Amino acid sequence: MFRIFRLDEDKVLNEVSSRGSKRVLVQAPEGLRPYLKPMVDKLRELGVTVLLSGNPCYGACNLALREAEMLNVDLIVHVGHSPMVSSSRIPVVYLDAQYIVRENGCLERFKETLLRFRSLGLFSSLQFIGYLEEARKTLEEWGLKVFIGRGSGVKYPGQVLGCNYTSPLEVENRVEGFLFIGGGLFHPLGLSLLTSKPVMALNPLTCSLRDMRDLKRRYLRRRYASIVEARDGEVFGILVGLEPGQFRLGQAEGLKSLIESLGREAYLLGFNYLDASMLEAYTWIDVFVNTACPRLSLEDSERLSKPILSPAELLVALGLIRWEEYIGESSQT
Ligand code: SF4
């Protein structure tokens, strides 16, 4: 069904020509790098020097500004994410990469399950955003009421980032549940932690549908265990993401002061790309607190032997708010 990404190469070629760019840095996530060659060749035919970023590129938050400055380019082409970080120093052209959508009857397979809802909020990641309108049409033909929130800080209605769920939350009061269309479980799990409404995840690549409630319960049990373990921590390491869209130094310093005011030790740790083993090497730190990408606490915590808490979870561990309050803030289930 989804065999290839659609890249609007003409947009890049037009931008490069109209700006008169001579030296361009192309930055893309690993999954899209196999598709870059035709665009790179066309840029070179225009006489442009193309440099490729070899660093990880996992979100719109990690714009390669420092690389671009060091490599002395006059334009960054950032592929696969929509704008998040503004840069006045070096211009950036963002290039969407969306799966080419061809309906293969996948929704039909789950008609009975989806018809248990009278209304649904649809949401997706950028790569699958083109599928939402088609899905809306099918669901409405079945008689469901369908809502797609506009959201803020995202390019398309219904689009989410792991750190931005404004579009589905905007329609929360109007729907009985949510349907995520896309790959992976990170985004639907993220929303399920913020709402008491059921969240279903449809993966059009594998044609599978998953109810997120079980995963949410298991995830919350693990988080509770981490919080209990963190209560006895004496030394805390607060992670400060140095990527442009993750940099929250003020919040990290506030948490450090809070921990110290309660008679415990705290240190700030700056990082660009995190690997569990790099944190494990700080054997004298008992608990890590993540102020950077939520994916770290959501997906990477199992790779660490020490607890890695979100700022809200830290407040629970320090006894400043109750677990029930934390759950109440994020979800009722
Ligand atoms: S901070 Fe994390 S969730 Fe947000 S854009 Fe960056 S990688 Fe995605």
Domain boundary assignment for the chain? 7-97, 106-211, 216-330
Regarding the domain with residue range 106-211, which homologous superfamily does it belong to in the CATH classification? Answer: Diphthamide synthesis DPH1/DPH2 domain 2 (3.40.50.11850)
Residue nearest to atom 3 of ligand 1 (CA): 162
**Cβ atoms within 10 Å of 37's Cβ, excluding its own:** 9
CATH node for 216-330: 3.40.50.11860
Q: Using 50, 70 and 90 to split pLDDT, how confident is the model at 2?
A: very low
The C-alpha atoms of residue 198 and residue 175 are separated, in whole angstroms, by: 10
293 alpha carbon – ligand 1 mean position (Å): 5
One fold for both 7-97 and 216-330?
A: yes
The C-alpha atoms of residue 249 and residue 254 are separated, in whole angstroms, by: 9
pLDDT in tens, 202-252: 999 899 999 999 999 999 999 999 999 999 999 999 999 999 889 999 999
pLDDT at res. 1:
38
Residues in the chain: 333
Ligand 1 atom closest to 292 (CA): 1
| CA 139 distance to own-chain centroid | 26
pLDDT in tens, 65-85: 999 999 999 999 999 998 888
Residue nearest to atom 4 of ligand 1 (CA): 163
Ligand 1 lining (C-beta closer than 6 Å): 58-61, 84, 161-163, 245-246, 293-295
CATH node for 7-97: 3.40.50.11840
Burial letters for 151-179: b for 16+ Cβ neighbours within 10 Å, e otherwise? Answer: beebebbbbbbbbbbebbbbbbeebebbb
pLDDT at res. 3:
45
Rounded to 5 degrees, φ, ψ at 142 are -80, -5
Q: Using 50, 70 and 90 to split pLDDT, how confident is the model at 260?
A: very high
